[in-house]
Amino acid sequence: MPPSNAPKISIIVPVYNGGEKFRQCLSSLAKLNPAPLEIIIVADGGSDGSAPFAEKMGMRVLRLAGPSGPAKARNYGARRAQGDILYFLDADVTVEPAAIQKLLAAFQRDPALAAVMGSYDDAPGEANFLSQYRNLLHHYVHQTGHEEASTFWGACGAIRREIFLEMDGFDENYRQPCIEDVELGYRLKKAGYRIRLEKALRVKHLKRWEALSMLKTDFFQRALPWTELILRDRHMVNDLNLKPSSRISVLLSFGSLGSGIWGIWRPAAFVFAAVGIIILFALNAPLYRFFRQQRGFGFMLRVLPWHGLYFLSSGLAFIVGVMRFYTAKSSCRKR
């Protein structure tokens, strides 16, 4: 059991028609040992019975007319929380029973920490290929990231309540799931606060990814608004999805694609395309080795075209994001 003077933790989960995955989330929260001070469910609209189900489990439920987005829902719960630390979780993740213990240990080891974030585990809830690929990629990126983190993560992230309120919480101009957590992390770092990536703090992601939903999310809800955030702050971090190797991979992907197309008219260009692909593979070899170790050689081969498409969509989003930024348009924020 944590000492009596340990900070108290309030868990905050925004939900909109969470369905069976939300029920699994709540079941895992009920098994936390030690238990948090409180579990606050913010029902951001919805019609599938998620809020009544949470009430039946004895959890505190707050309601918004919604849907107004996770940024507003999290802020609404945070302002009414009583804990010293706000632990934000998505409605489609499950936690380990020892999550509170790991969270407290991270803050107690380093009292100067403002916030802590975790990662997805290496056993995604959905068995289809794209769900396995997407969540394992996220797991790898976080597990190989810097422990002195450069941003924040709302799916599994905790922050001291007084600091959260001082920073005015998440930017509610983000009206849909987007990069509201990344944006908060940028403001925290700019204000001089420290964030730790606690690699032992893991959640299982239950979301099922399909091709269209994955590409739409990557382009419109991640890469495009993240580009605008980078341009707004005039700051490019060298961590997680923005490591130099990732930026070089984007350039190599476009160069290889362009050379391959040009090769239709000038066959010699195929040589440049091949060289680019070889360098791209070598640059990302540790990641591909991870996929092979986790799911086998066949799985790794299936990853390659999707990972190349990820780099191409990221690069295209950067170009579009620059254009939108300088024409005063925004991708995720309300107008």
Determine how many CB atoms are found less than 10 A away from the CB of residue 149. 24
CA angle 29, 141, 309 (to 5 degrees): 115
Q: How many residues would you count in the chain?
A: 335
Ramachandran angles phi, psi of 86, nearest 5°: -100, 120
Predicted local distance difference test score (pLDDT) of residue 306:
96
Residue 89 to residue 11: CA distance in whole angstroms? 7
Mean pLDDT in the chain? 92
Q: What is the pLDDT of residues 103-125, one digit of tens each?
A: 999 999 999 999 999 999 999 99
Alpha helices by DSSP H, listed for the chain, are 19-29, 50-56, 70-80, 99-109, 129-143, 161-166, 180-190, 211-216, 224-233, 244-262, 269-283, 285-295, 297-325
Range with the poorest average pLDDT among 59-63, 77-81, 82-86, 238-242: 238-242
- The dotted CATH code for 9-209 is 3.90.550.10
Residue spans per domain, the chain: 9-209, 210-335
Buried b (16+ CB within 10 A) or exposed e, 180-209: bbbbbbbebbeeebebbbbeebbbbbbbbb
What is the DSSP-derived secondary structure letter of residue 306?
H
For 22-44, how does the pLDDT look when each residue is reduced to its tens digit (9 = 90+)?
Answer: 999 999 999 999 999 999 999 99
Which of 82, 104, 83 is CA-nearest to residue 32? 104
pLDDT digits (tens, 9 = 90+) for 184-228: 999 999 999 999 999 999 999 999 999 999 999 999 998 888 888
pLDDT in tens, 244-293: 888 899 999 999 999 999 999 999 999 999 999 999 999 999 999 999 99
Q: What is the pLDDT, as a whole number, of residue 75?
A: 98
Q: Which of 228, 252, 207 is nearest to 332 (CA)?
A: 228
Which residue is it, tokens 């964030």?
Answer: 195
Residue 40 zone, left/alpha/beta (φ > 0; ψ -120 to 50; rest): beta
